[in-house]
Amino acid sequence: MAATSEAAPHTGDSVAAAEALEALAAVVSRETDDREELASSLPQGDHDTPLARAVAADARKRIALTGRVFPKPPTTRVLTVANQKGGVGKTTTTVNVAAGLAQAGLTVLVIDIDPQGNASTALGIDHHAEVPSIYDVLVEGTPLADVVQECPDIAGLWCAPATIDLAGAEIELVSLVARETRLQKAIAAYLEQGSAAGRPAPDYVLIDCPPSLGLLTVNAFVAAQEVLIPIQCEYYALEGLSQLLKNIELIRNHLNPTLHVSTILLTMYDGRTRLSAQVADEVRTHFPEQVLRNTVPRSVRISEAPSHGQTVMTYDPNSSGALSYLGAAAELADRGAATTADHQTASAQN
């Protein structure tokens, strides 16, 4: 009888907890339904009113995404943001997708391995010559945790900055042992040390690459499991993409068999031009699973934000550029969660 009387409160607690979880799920479901209903009620516009159509599309994105919490991946996702062609929006994509993920409740680490240090600038991170940087990690073997800084504007967003010293790292790495795997080992050690110290692992690590295929970019490819490719909606971008895919295949065959292109984001999209539509259609035809639905338009606000030491997510969160990057970040997070669910279902069936 004593055992029964002791077990009863625990049973009651379990029932109460289950009821609370059901109530919470109902609230979340109702909130999602309300968002979808409100977004779908907005007018679509037509081809005769392109401005109204664009305003309505931005309003729908704002309703669907603002305040939403993105799903966490089960393990840290490491993505290299790469394209050998310059000026396609690699750095802009890296910092704004990272900011979007962090604003939605995830923890993100940006690793800047471009000697220009533009990602560090956009995140408001100090990166003058005397600052400990990713150069010290790659060449001197400094622990990654010693160079990471927190972004002043967005909680949960961290950055390992690049300094001008990184410009000479290509030459210095040539003579070092295991030169292609130094970043991979540094990230692995950072995650292990954080776990041992009770520090939560970042949900995402995004690596911003220089526009070349030197040892810095090779290190990024070896360190990552996934590649995110920003593609400018112009013809030259398609030529650069084919060469990039060949180089990724070389890395897979010789250094990192798990590397794959998981995400392609169309940037600088101009819906008024036939060229942008043609490039977008061609990329989607060849890579239907990888291309995100969201495209990033040409935007003055996106270009202005770095001059203020900010991402467009904090500089003008209601602009079309910010909403597009927030939508891209949501797709990235949702696809990761969906892939995990598929793997778990397949494992259960086997």
| pLDDT in the model for residue 59 | 74
Q: What is the pTM of this model?
A: 0.82
| pLDDT in the model for residue 326 | 94
| pLDDT in the model for residue 43 | 56
| pLDDT in the model for residue 40 | 60
Taking only the tens place, the pLDDT of each residue in 310-346 is 999 999 999 999 999 999 999 999 988 876 555 444 4
* 55 Cβ contact partners less than 8 Å away, ≥ 6 residues apart: none
CA distance 17 to 26: 14
Residue in this structure with the two tokens 């609370």, named with its chain if needed: 20
In a domain, 51, yes or no: no
Greater pLDDT, 49 or 81:
81
* Four-residue CA torsion sign, 198, 200, 201, 205: negative
- Name the band, by pLDDT with cuts 50, 70 and 90, for residue 63: confident
Residue in this structure with the two tokens 């309505």, named with its chain if needed: 56
| pLDDT in the model for residue 9 | 43
Tell me if 309 sits within 8 A of 334, measured CB to CB: no
- Which run of H or E residues covers position 237? helix 235-254
- Which run of H or E residues covers position 312? helix 312-315
Give mean pLDDT, residues 227-237.
88
Kindly give the pairing relationship between strand 157-160 and strand 149-150.
Answer: antiparallel
In a domain, 28, yes or no: no
- Name the band, by pLDDT with cuts 50, 70 and 90, for residue 2: very low
pLDDT of 57 higher than 80 = no
Give mean pLDDT, residues 118-130.
90
Instruction: Of 162, 170, 181, give the one whose Cα is nearest residue 112.
Output: 162
Q: Is 83 left (phi over 0), alpha (psi -120 to 50) or beta?
A: beta
- Name the band, by pLDDT with cuts 50, 70 and 90, for residue 39: low
In a domain, 60, yes or no: no
Q: Residue 342, class by beta-carbon neighbours within 10 Å (0-12 exposed, 13-18 middle, 19+ buried)?
A: exposed
In a domain, 226, yes or no: yes
Report the range out of 35-44, 73-82, 236-245 with the highest average pLDDT. Answer: 73-82
% of the chain beyond a pLDDT of 70 = 80
Range of the domain at 237: 68-340
Averaged pLDDT of the chain:
83
Give mean pLDDT, residues 159-168.
91
Instruction: Of 37, 13, 190, 22, give the one whose Cα is nearest residue 107.
Output: 190
CA distance 228 to 119: 16
Which token pair is 232? Answer: 């400018």
Give mean pLDDT, residues 24-29.
48
Strand spans (E) along the chain:
77-81, 108-112, 149-150, 157-160, 204-208, 226-232, 260-267
How is 92-153 classified by DSSP, letter by letter?
HHHHHHHHHHHHTT--EEEEE--TT-HHHHHTT---STTS--HHIIIII---GGGT-EE-SS
Tell me if 271 sits within 8 A of 47, measured CB to CB: no
CATH code of the domain containing 254: 3.40.50.300
| pLDDT in the model for residue 160 | 96
Greater pLDDT, 52 or 115:
115
| pLDDT in the model for residue 36 | 61
Instruction: Provide the β-strand partners of residue 297.
Output: 269
Which token pair is 231? Answer: 């593609």
At residue 226, the 3 state secondary structure works out as strand
Instruction: Provide the β-strand partners of residue 265.
Output: 230
Give mean pLDDT, residues 160-174.
90
CA distance 321 to 19: 41
Greater pLDDT, 198 or 193:
193
Give mean pLDDT, residues 71-77.
94
Give mean pLDDT, residues 120-127.
92
In a domain, 31, yes or no: no
In a domain, 81, yes or no: yes
CA distance 230 to 264: 6
Number of structural domains (the chain) is 1
- Name the band, by pLDDT with cuts 50, 70 and 90, for residue 192: very high
In a domain, 313, yes or no: yes
In a domain, 47, yes or no: no
DSSP alpha helix (H) spans, 123-234:
134-135, 169-174, 182-196, 215-223
| pLDDT in the model for residue 49 | 58
